[in-house]
Amino acid sequence: MNATMSLDKTQHQPVMLDQVLSIISPQHGGIFIDCTFGGGGYSQAILKHPNTKVFAIDRDKLTKKYANQLANKFPKRFNFNLSKFSNLKNIFNLNPSPKAIVFDLGVSSFQLSDYERGFSFQSTGNLSMQMGINKYSAFDVVNNLDKRNLASIIKILGQEKDGKIIANQIVRYRTKKPINTSEELANIIRRAKKNYSRFKTNPATKTFLAIRIFINQELSELISGLFAATELLKNGGILAVVSFNSLEDKIVKNFFNYYSSLNKNPSRYLPQKEEKPNLFKLFLKKPLTPNKKEISKNIRSRSAKLRYAIRNDNSFFYSNEIQKKFQKIFNVEEIML
Ligand SMILES: C[S@@+](CC[C@H](N)C(=O)[O-])C[C@H]1O[C@@H](n2cnc3c(N)ncnc32)[C@H](O)[C@@H]1O
């Protein structure tokens, strides 16, 4: 099998794999952490190089079948843990420290195309949208959450301007019967969005994304994962993140920016910044994006953005500046049912 393909190529095509590999350079060996194992595309491509070891994580128990295949093939060089990556620091006892830690965020094609899991608009199975290790399902949220909180989730996490109108329609509908499937939910949203036929994408796209982010607490997971990875990496260690929506990318960009520009004071008229050292020595402001060829082969890659930074030898310290900046978003993810 071609090592640059996913273990089951009908399931998931790894996004921006070539660019990720050229940044983390597994051909020179080393320890790598794949925080979002999925179909194993990244892990497998790294393991193709003989002096590598991969420690992989995924929260979805269905990824275990791919992980088991790799574990059988590379028993000494591959280790998998079913967990959330916010837990990263407590999972692996790594010595020497990893050469690179990679995140390829969001859902995999095999999660999206599994109609039983309710991620897609046409799904007639359970209204779940759970990646794994969750508190709530999408069914719980759309059938039980009060209108005001539902509107905040849709508006803030989905960046959907019609959040209130959509929440109204959802609440009106569920007084008659529970919303059981994603297809049913998508139809309610379509009716709530006026002139939907003008839209290029499905009118339910932003609302589905919002509910998925909420159910899986994706943005709080991301910020915790970034902190944990930065703490684990030592001098020269690479942190690479592929994101798929603008909130994810904003968090990644701000995180890298903050920890790589602490000792630059932009203007002499501004108060001096805290006297804290940078944690990253290289961070490119502009993200890398997939080329046309990849987008034409794999439409899912079109919104991908790859950012990376390289750790220096300063000791890790936690700062709540970034958390403060995105507090409104993190608060929405904390809404209780
Ligand atoms: C886009 S896929 C990764 C695909 C993978 N790079 C490949 O080539 O096959 C994202 C995966 O990350 C997992 N995931 C998302 N958020 C996670 C989290 N907070 N902790 C652990 N796994 C997570 C999802 O379950 C999914 O399997």
* Within a domain: 59: yes
Shared-domain flag, residues 157 and 202: yes
Asked if 76 contacts 49 with a C-beta cutoff of 8 angstroms, the reply is no
* Within a domain: 62: yes
- Return the DSSP state at 175: T
**pTM of the prediction?**
0.94
Total domains in the fold of the chain: 2
Residue at a domain's end among 175, 193, 216: 216
Distance 192 CA to ligand 1 centre (A): 32
Shared-domain flag, residues 256 and 222: yes
The DSSP H or E segment spanning 293 is helix 292-297
Residue 101's DSSP bridge partners are: 33, 239
pLDDT (tens, 9 = 90+) of the chain, 337 residues, equals: 333 334 554 468 999 999 999 999 999 999 999 999 999 999 999 999 999 999 999 999 999 999 999 999 999 999 999 999 999 999 987 888 999 999 999 999 989 989 899 999 989 988 999 999 999 999 999 999 999 999 999 999 999 999 999 999 999 999 999 999 999 999 999 999 977 666 678 999 999 999 999 999 999 999 999 999 999 999 999 999 999 999 999 999 999 999 998 876 555 555 555 578 999 998 888 999 999 999 999 999 999 999 999 999 999 999 999 999 999 999 999 999 8
Shared-domain flag, residues 137 and 51: no
Shared-domain flag, residues 97 and 222: yes
CATH number, domain containing residue 177: 1.10.150.170
Mutate to test the pocket of ligand 1, among 55, 89, 131 (most ligand atoms within 8 A of CB): 131
- What residues make up the domain containing 167? 115-216
What beta strand segments (E) does 181-312 contain?
Answer: 238-243, 280-283, 305-311
* Within a domain: 326: no
Pick the closest to residue 225 from 70, 59, 23 (CA basis).
59
Asked if 309 contacts 239 with a C-beta cutoff of 8 angstroms, the reply is yes
CATH number, domain containing residue 255: 3.40.50.150
Shared-domain flag, residues 231 and 254: yes
User: What residues does ligand 1 touch, defined as CB less than 6 Å away?
Assistant: 6, 12, 14, 36, 38-42, 57-60, 63, 84-85, 104, 106-108, 131, 221
Shared-domain flag, residues 158 and 31: no
Distance 157 CA to ligand 1 centre (A): 19
Nearest CA owner, ligand 1 atom 18: 84
Shared-domain flag, residues 211 and 227: no
Nearest CA owner, ligand 1 atom 12: 36
Mutate to test the pocket of ligand 1, among 15, 58, 217 (most ligand atoms within 8 A of CB): 58
